[in-house]
Copies of this chain bind each other. A is one copy, B any other.
Amino acid sequence: MTPKLSQIKKDFTESLSQISRFWGFPKGMGAIFAVLYLSPAPIPLDEIVGLTGLTKGAVSTEVRTLARMGLVHRSSKLGDRKDYYEAETDFYTSIRSILKERQNSEFDRALRGVRETLEKLDSGSVSGDEAEIKFLRERLKALQEFFNAIDSLTNAVIKLDKLGISNVAKILNVLK
């Protein structure tokens, strides 16, 4: 039995929805990206609505966050008031912008929290058992070093392109 193209597309959209959810994004976001990715030409919002089954409101908001992440691009045609959307096809570009996006988020706020805690301990202004303070200082310091390592790794990855990523795996294997 030969499967229909439309079924193939639906399967793919389903897969991307799951992947989206797995990474903590709404599954609708994955679906929207999928239909855009499978479209040879930019399509207007209403068509996304038709293809995904979501409402205009949902598509409107999620397509915006996709655009902010650099995963889709919005464009418009002269003499046509519709907005048209298309998927970014260079994933290495996308990854970079997603990482950037994440860097100035709640995550960073939390990291600053840890840093500030450590500063308080280091400043000696904290009252309490000396041995315990020493212990806490060591633990927090270790955690902070780890965060810093991740941070510089992230920054390095942000600068990578396709060639870079595929080489890194090889290099890491050599390192080991």
**Which residues of A line the B interface, CB within 8 A?**
2-5, 8-9, 11-12, 14-16, 18-19, 21-24, 37-38, 40, 89, 91-92, 105-107, 109-111, 113-114, 116-117, 120-121, 125-129, 132-133, 135-136, 139-140, 142-143, 146, 149-150, 152-153, 155-157, 159-160, 162, 164-169, 171-173, 175-176
Q: Given contacts A5-B133, A19-B107, A139-B38, is CB(A12)–CB(B114) below 8 Å?
A: yes
CB neighbours of A8 from chain B (8 A): 117, 120-121, 126, 136
Q: Given contacts A22-B105, A128-B5, is CB(A15)–CB(B110) below 8 Å?
A: yes
CB neighbours of A21 from chain B (8 A): 106
Partner of A3, one of B24, B111, B120: B120
Docked CA distance A135–B37 (Å) = 11
Query: Which B residue sits closest to A94, measured CB to CB?
Result: B146
List 14 additional contacts besides A3-B120, A19-B110, A156-B172; criterion CB under 8 Å: A5-B127, A5-B132, A8-B117, A8-B121, A15-B114, A18-B113, A22-B110, A38-B136, A91-B143, A149-B162, A156-B168, A159-B173, A159-B176, A168-B168
Q: Of residues A16, A110, A150, A167, which shows the largest number of chain B Cβ atoms within 10 Å of its Cβ? A: A110
Q: Report copies per complex.
A: 2
Docked CA distance A37–B106 (Å) = 21
Docked CA distance A162–B149 (Å) = 9
Query: Which B residue sits closest to A176, measured CB to CB?
Result: B159
Q: Given contacts A19-B107, A38-B139, A89-B139, is CB(A3)–CB(B169) below 8 Å?
A: no
Give min CB distance, A92 to chain B, whole Å: 8
A127–B4 touching, CB < 8 Å: yes
